[in-house]
């Protein structure tokens, strides 16, 4: 494959109708480590680590539907987007995540994916330990 390479799968955004209950379940039953639990303006997000070497789970109540979003890190969002577009990739929208800009897209079977460039990685670190719920 030519062009920019995708980095690690950093996050899996998982829709939840009750973020607090699901976060407690992951901690109590699955043994997950709770990184943070934020309630900001009525939007709730909880970051969990189920395994040390896997992506962080971000339970959230603000996704537009019930499909999770696989979020992959890239070194250069613009270059990666151009390379993927040359292969037939169709971006959906570009949004700002706390760590940096992100472009979402869907695979032919309906999987939701995203690529992001961590230009503000310190933001996620600043959330660690926060417990709003």
- The superfamily CATH assigns to domain 6-127 is 2,3-Dihydroxybiphenyl 1,2-Dioxygenase, domain 1 (3.10.180.10)
Nearest Cα residue to 36 out of 44, 28, 115, 67: 44
Q: Residue 50 — pLDDT band, cuts 50, 70, 90?
A: very high
Q: What percent of the chain has pLDDT over 70?
A: 97
Report pLDDT digits (tens) over 102-111: 999 999 999 9
Given a cut of 90, whether residue 85 has pLDDT beyond it is: yes
**How far from the centroid of its chain's Cα atoms is residue 133's Cα?**
20
Q: Compute the C-alpha angle 94/96/51, nearest 5°.
A: 105
């Amino acid at each position: 494959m030519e062009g920019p390479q995708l980095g690690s799968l950093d996050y899996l955004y998982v829709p939840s109708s009750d973020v607090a209950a699901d976060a407690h379940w992951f901690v109590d039953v699955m043994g997950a480590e709770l990184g943070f639990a934020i309630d900001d303006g009525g939007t709730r997000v909880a970051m969990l680590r189920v395994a040390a070497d896997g992506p962080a789970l971000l339970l959230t109540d603000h996704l537009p539907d019930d499909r999770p979003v696989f979020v992959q890190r890239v070194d250069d969002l613009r270059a990666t987007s151009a390379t993927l577009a040359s292969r037939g990739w169709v971006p959906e929208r570009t949004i700002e995540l706390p760590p940096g800009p992100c472009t979402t897209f869907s695979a032919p079977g309906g999987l939701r994916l995203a690529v992001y460039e961590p230009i503000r990685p310190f933001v996620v670190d600043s959330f660690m330990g926060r417990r709003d719920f």
